[in-house]
Amino acid sequence: MQAAGKVYLVGAGPGDPELITVKGAKLLKAADVIVYDRLVNVELLSYAQPGTELIFCGKSPERHTLPQEEINRVLVYYARQGKTVVRLKGGDPSIFGRVGEEAAYCAERGIPFEIVPGITSGVAAPAYAGIPLTHRDLSSSVAIVTGHKRVDGQGDPVRWEQLATSVQTLVIYMGVGNLPYIRDQLLKYGRPAATPVALVRWGTLAKQETLVGTLDNIVEKVQEAKFKSPAIIVVGEVVRLREKLAWFEAKQADGEGTEQRGSSLPALKTVVV
């Protein structure tokens, strides 16, 4: 009987290919199969060796190229062939990356796995926009929240009545489409209308955009700017620091830009399942 391979659930980082961890890069070089998401920078695939099988699972808010259940099955299928499988996820796999579901699926079937953390976009995108999430004078508490509702209606809803004033900084993932509701909930439960809000789109990439407002006007600003996902939303006084600390935009304005690896890829085998 063939020995099982192993599944590595790897964080790809927030977008800039240089922000992947050293361990993550090593695993990409060693992988027989790479299963990657829509928000993974494809330049990271240049770490793969010739002949590596690539499977794009391409989930987006509007459609899933592969349903989650099928992704789970793909990981186990290749691992049972004795292969080293890297499941490459944008950001950190433990932050709204469904790593718990995929790891549990492997564990239940006796497939060895490891979780390799990555830099999550909820930390990196604000940092690149000049917004540290904590500050001794402004914020000693942070909550990471999903702004996206499950389409099946299951799962615990976000308790906005508790979050609105219990923490100083809110970091909201996948919340652009639901922003009017989020804004209304925060105001309803006591967050001041003048609270600063920032949205950071395509954080850490050369095309990064940042939009700043307050709870009172941010929905209108987003609509006027036609600001779309993917974006991280930051709510709290730390947003004001951006006026002094917006280092990345200054770097872009000086023409330095974000250095990226070459776009040419080795001869890789793309698999359709």
pLDDT tens readout for residues 22-75: 999 999 999 999 999 988 999 999 999 999 999 998 755 555 568 999 999 999
The burial of 151, by beta-carbon neighbours within 10 Å (0-12 exposed, 13-18 middle, 19 or more buried), is given as: exposed
β-sheet bridge partners, residue 209:
201
Three-state DSSP at 54 gives strand
CA–CA gap between residue 251 and residue 247 (Å, rounded)? 6
- Provide the pLDDT confidence category of residue 151 given band limits of 50, 70 and 90: low
Concatenated DSSP letters for 102-116? HHHHHHHTT--EEEE
Look at residue 271 in the predicted model and tell me its pLDDT: 52
- pTM tops 0.95, yes or no: no
As annotated, the active-site residues are 37, 59, 174
251, 255, 259, 265 alpha-carbon torsion, rounded to 10°: 150
Q: In this predicted model, what pLDDT tens digit does every residue of 73-110 receive, in sequence order?
A: 999 999 999 999 999 999 999 999 899 999 999 999 99
Name the amino acid, one letter, at 4: A
DSSP assigned state of 241:
G
Task: Evaluate if residue 165 carries a pLDDT over 90.
Answer: yes
